[in-house]
A and B are shown apart, each in its own frame.
Chain A
Amino acid sequence: SAVISQKPSRDICQRGTSLTIQCQVDSQVTMMFWYRQQPGQSLTLIATANQGSEATYESGFVIDKFPISRPNLTFSTLTVSNMSPEDSSIYLCSVERQGVRAYGYTFGSGTRLTVV
């Protein structure tokens, strides 16, 4: 399976500022997925990032708040803009598992964001 390096691992940010989270994959992948997980809760898909096209956002998430870049097949960034305490969460990037029969995801280690 692919190995994903995600950073930062955690950050404490002031409200009104922005944070950019980076994910680097050790192999080329078509799609990268960004999830949010609030403490003790499930994973919610924010958007799907394809290289060379605009990201596709899920209901409740908008590009102005969560701009995504996908400059090549191994890298993506998610920015959390104009942060408020409600944005405090764990943000995870993921890719589809490659070359195996069973369908699933490999996740980055996550970014634990606290907005104060």
Chain B
Amino acid sequence: GQSLEQPSEVTAVEGAIVQINCTYQTSGFYGLSWYQQHDGGAPTFLSYNALDGLEETGRFSSFLSRSDSYGYLLLQELQMKDSASYFCAVRSGNTGGFKTIFGAGTRLFVKA
């Protein structure tokens, strides 16, 4: 079957760096994506990794290691507004079709 694991909660201080890990089990892996969701809001897309390595977008970076079935989201220069839930999601499938499965989410608390 398919599964994803990520920590349920992470707490960090404003201005710090935080890393949210995600490990997955799936067949037909295509890529790992990350979403941010504020309370009462819809998930918003942050990043997608199909190949090994680091992808940087401003203060956010995402890493993938396909051989380790592992990825992480790195948030730098944390701001209070970064307090939200972060979901990793795996896209998998084959020529017959693709599917995206979401992790349970990591709630990030940023403290002053």
- A residues contacting B by CB (< 8 A) are 1, 41-45, 92, 97, 102-110
Report yes or no: B100 in contact with A102, Cβ–Cβ below 8 A.
Answer: no
Number of residue pairs A-B, CB distance < 8 angstroms: 45
One of B35, B91, B101, B105 near A41 (C-beta < 8 A): B105
One of A1, A102, A108, A109 near B48 (C-beta < 8 A): A102
> Is the C-beta of B112 less than 8 angstroms from some C-beta in chain A?
no
Interface pick from B15-23, B39-47, B63-71, B75-83: B39-47
Report yes or no: A45 in contact with B42, Cβ–Cβ below 8 A.
Answer: no
Report yes or no: B100 in contact with A45, Cβ–Cβ below 8 A.
Answer: yes
Q: Name which of B33, B41, B45, B91 has the most chain A CB atoms within 10 A of its CB.
A: B45
Report yes or no: B103 in contact with A103, Cβ–Cβ below 8 A.
Answer: no
The answer for the CA separation of A2 and B86 in the assembled complex, in Å, is 21
> Is the C-beta of B31 less than 8 angstroms from some C-beta in chain A?
yes
Report yes or no: A41 in contact with B104, Cβ–Cβ below 8 A.
Answer: yes
Question: Which secondary structure characterizes the binding site on chain B?
Answer: strand
Report yes or no: B50 in contact with A103, Cβ–Cβ below 8 A.
Answer: yes
Report yes or no: B45 in contact with A97, Cβ–Cβ below 8 A.
Answer: yes
The answer for the CA separation of A45 and B92 in the assembled complex, in Å, is 14
Query: Min CB distance, B31 to chain A, in Å?
Result: 6
Q: Name which of B35, B41, B102, B104 has the most chain A CB atoms within 10 A of its CB.
A: B102
> Is the C-beta of B72 less than 8 angstroms from some C-beta in chain A?
no
The answer for the CA separation of A79 and B87 in the assembled complex, in Å, is 26
Chain A neighbourhood of B105, CB < 8 A = 41-42
One of A44, A92, A104, A110 near B45 (C-beta < 8 A): A104
> Is the C-beta of B99 less than 8 angstroms from some C-beta in chain A?
yes
The answer for the CA separation of A97 and B45 in the assembled complex, in Å, is 9
The answer for the CA separation of A110 and B101 in the assembled complex, in Å, is 18
Query: Min CB distance, B99 to chain A, in Å?
Result: 7
Chain B neighbourhood of A42, CB < 8 A = 87, 102-105
Q: List 19 A-B contacts (CB under 8 A).
A: A1-B45, A41-B104, A41-B105, A42-B87, A42-B105, A43-B102, A44-B102, A45-B99, A45-B100, A102-B45, A102-B47, A103-B31, A105-B35, A105-B45, A107-B42, A107-B43, A107-B44, A108-B42, A110-B41
